[in-house]
Amino acid sequence: MITQITASERHEARTGDWLRSNYLFSFADYYDPANVQFGPLRVFNDDVVSPDSGFPTHPHTEMEIVTIVLDGELTHTDSLGNDLVLHAGEVQRMTSGTGITHSEANRSEADVHLLQLWFLPNKRGLTPSYEHMKIDFLGTKDELVPLVTGQKVMEDVVFINSNSSIFYGNFSQGKDLDFQTFKLRKCLVYVLDGNLIVNGVELEMNDQLRIEDQEMISFHAGSKASFILVDVPAVEANY
């Protein structure tokens, strides 16, 4: 099964004049019982945070939280003692487990553009932990770059306590690439920029494709295109 969701079908949210968000799944004041999660992927938000603003300290439990910085700088502090600035091309994972508090702020003079994805973990009661890595994925070309995985088969990626992986693609016009998957898994493709044809479906900027019961995902860049690929188990985690 292949489901296309256009950019206009995302839930658009505005928080004052400092946060512009688009939710791919039910989140905050947006709830759709038919759009709660995709395998263990529970949240996928596309956020732009204005200068001198941010999220105040708040708690999380029992969730793997991945932040991907696409542009700008994001200051992160948490109850584990981390206090640092994430730059474009860096990826962060926070295991909230039994409980963690953190804040995220834009202390710069320009907007910060980030993606935040939440996954239900493989098991409950994990000890809170943190990891971030400079991967420099934004400068890559014509390959799928692994950013995050819980499958322990890739090097130089951020680890996640979920049998899931996140890849970034930045393809030149005309680039073709096949991604091997399995019918026991699901994939979500989110286009950041450009025109991308995935398994024969044409996608534009901020469109998404949710793919189930397939063994191969074929990409063709109709123009220069960048995108995120999320590969997750088909089983719906529910706890």
The pLDDT tens digits for 41-67 are 999 999 999 999 888 889 999 999 999
Rounded Cα gap, residues 203 and 145, in angstroms: 20
Q: State which H helix or E strand residue 133 sits in.
A: strand 129-134
pLDDT band at residue 127 using 50, 70 and 90 as cut-offs? very high
pTM of the model as a whole: 0.95
Q: Cα-flanking dihedrals φ and ψ of residue 153, to 5°? A: -120, 5
**Domains in the chain, ordered, with CATH?**
7-233 (2.60.120.10)
